[in-house]
Chains A and B, each alone.
Chain A
Amino acid sequence: MTEESLNNSNISLAALKAGDRAEFARLVDATSNHIYRLALKILRDPQDAEDVLQESYIKALRALPEFEGRSSLSTWLYRIAVNEALMLLRKRRVNLVPVEEDPDEDDLQAGMVLTDWRFLPEDELLSAESRRRLEQAVDTLPETLRVVFMLRDMEGLSIRETAGMLGLTETAVKTRLLRARLKLRNQLSVYFGERLTENSSE
């Protein structure tokens, strides 16, 4: 979870609880971008993401008196936002809890790309174009895999926390995470493989 921006801005929980509007504005300023991007990635719809953004702060304000500070303020807030986004997904009747799948290992191995691209220079791996490809690759994941991957690998939740938020068993989370990671690795391998070929022919 991206805690840095919030940690750097020293939001005072006591001031927030006392109803300090300026402090609330600082919290919004430090976290709104992350919440919007997160909601947009989960929902892939700008209007829905904006609704989640607004509702998250309204819910957070309401829940603030009960917040005991056991987790960091940003973690607490981002979870409220993830829950809001998941609620919207469920309203869209996306089935986040289908029958437990048992991965067929032959299928997991199918079409595995075997290019060793990890020694491409960092500036190439993280160029604007590469980042765009990374985003695209996540967007092509099926909803059920994408949400698990985002919570676990992009937001840094544990397997247990991801399972709790999605109402899945830990085994199901692990299975989906593996599938998501394999699919992404493969897509990135195709892309970076092309870069390797280009580099070597230059």
Chain B
Amino acid sequence: MTEISNCKGLVSSISEYLDGELPPELCAELEKHMSECENCTIVVNTMRKTIDLYRQPAPDNPLPDEIKSRLYARLHLEDYLDKQIPEHP
């Protein structure tokens, strides 16, 4: 296990830290290092934000019409293409 009390060690543990998978004693060590190192604080915070942004649902981008038609044809669902199907009772 790498020492987390320096920048190198912090970088290799960052992912597990953000996933909440780092043992508590190592978390404490990492947080202590962060409190003394502005650069590492930036790296941890922007890494958290990066993951956050990727987890945001993408805006609805509908399936292209021709791909949808071919899919429905292949699955023999042509009768249902572009129809509102009521919920199953």
A21, A36, A153: which contacts B67 (Cβ < 8 A)?
A36
Bound complex: CA A181 to CA B71 (Å) = 34
Is B7 within 8 A of A109, CB to CB? Answer: yes
Bound complex: CA A21 to CA B79 (Å) = 10
Is A188 within 8 A of B70, CB to CB? Answer: no
B:18-55 near A, CB below 8 Å: 19, 21, 39, 42-43, 45-51, 53-55
Is B16 within 8 A of A109, CB to CB? Answer: no
User: Which residues of A come within 8 Å of B, CB atoms?
Assistant: 2, 4, 9-12, 15, 20-26, 28-29, 32-33, 36-37, 50, 53-54, 57-58, 61, 103, 105-106, 108-109, 112, 114-118, 125-126, 130-131, 134, 138, 149, 153-154, 156, 159, 174, 177-178, 181-182, 184-185, 188-189
B47, B53, B74: which contacts A54 (Cβ < 8 A)?
B74
Is B12 within 8 A of A21, CB to CB? Answer: no
Bound complex: CA A20 to CA B85 (Å) = 12
A-B contact count (CB 8 A): 131
- Which chain A positions have C-beta within 8 A of B70? 50, 54
- Which chain A positions have C-beta within 8 A of B56? 126
Bound complex: CA A151 to CA B72 (Å) = 27
Main secondary structure of the interface of A (DSSP, over half): helix
Chain A residue with the shortest CB-CB distance to B77:
A25
- Which chain A positions have C-beta within 8 A of B21? 159
- Which chain B positions have C-beta within 8 A of A23? 88
Is A105 within 8 A of B12, CB to CB? Answer: yes
Q: List 9 A-B contacts (CB under 8 A).
A: A20-B88, A21-B77, A32-B63, A36-B63, A54-B71, A108-B8, A108-B11, A116-B46, A188-B53
Most buried by A among B50, B71, B85: B50
Residue-wise, chain B 1-13 has the 8 Å CB interface mask toward A (1 for contact) of 0100001110110
**Given A28-B71, A57-B71, A114-B43, A33:B63 Cβ within 8 A:** yes
Is A103 within 8 A of B45, CB to CB? Answer: no
Is B54 within 8 A of A28, CB to CB? Answer: no
**Given A20-B88, A108-B11, A109-B7, A185:B62 Cβ within 8 A:** no
- Which chain B positions have C-beta within 8 A of A130? 53
Bound complex: CA A32 to CA B88 (Å) = 19
- Which chain A positions have C-beta within 8 A of B85? 22, 25-26, 29
Bound complex: CA A21 to CA B21 (Å) = 44
Bound complex: CA A153 to CA B55 (Å) = 7
B15, B53, B76, B88: which contacts A174 (Cβ < 8 A)?
B15
Is A116 within 8 A of B42, CB to CB? Answer: yes
Is B7 within 8 A of A134, CB to CB? Answer: no
